[in-house]
Amino acid sequence: MAFSKEEIAQRIAKEIKDGYYVNLGIGIPTLVANYIPKGINIVLQSENGLLGMGPFPFEGEEDADLINAGKQTITTLPGSSIFDSAMSFGMIRAQKVDLTILGAMEVSENGDIANWKIPGKMVKGMGGAMDLVASAKNIIVAMQHVNKAGESKLLPNCTLPLTGVKCIRKVVTELAVLDILPGGGFKLLERAPGVSVDFIKQSTLGRLIVEGEIPEMQLN
């Protein structure tokens, strides 16, 4: 069966290494904060000006003054630091962030990403996405494989306005884990439990590369 948003976040959390500074984008990426593996010491950075972000608060324990970039209430950990956006983006532009996890509307087989605007719909602005994709050392995308109409969001070329070009290296969806190869193409690494390779092929409009047996995703 296809993974839920929470399970996508849980799978991405396995990509985080000890000592990383990690930025979580709006949407599915914010859920990753709830699934940091035990024994892993990392620092979560929120682009609105926070180092040391913890998991979401329990109901009734929310502090309206503590929010992430998506305006969701969050918790802070001992030793956390709060500062202005200028310092936050200074960290991002100086490549002090080891891993960025972003949501996306579309990703191309060349690693292009579109994640900020759908023409004709109201948009508040690009936010920090352009700085993140231009400066991040490593970017993983958490997204839905297909849209509500069942159409692929992994494409030969993005149809929506681009946020960044040739900057994405890994994508995790409800169906699969895929690497984007330097020469282009989605290389299938893992599949969601019960999801066939053929179904992933049908759901991927961009060039899909399948080599050998594809294992199922493991969350633990």
Q: Which positions are annotated as active-site residues?
A: 47
Identify whether the C-beta of residue 132 lies closer than 8 Å to the C-beta of residue 100. Answer: yes
Q: Token pair for residue 36?
A: 């940091």
Identify whether the C-beta of residue 162 lies closer than 8 Å to the C-beta of residue 112. Answer: yes
User: How far is Cα 91 from Cα 98, in angstroms, rounded to an integer?
Assistant: 11
Per DSSP (E only), the strands in the chain are 21-24, 43-46, 50-53, 76-82, 99-103, 106-108, 113-114, 139-142, 154-155, 170-172, 176-180, 186-191, 208-209
First to last CA, the chain: 17
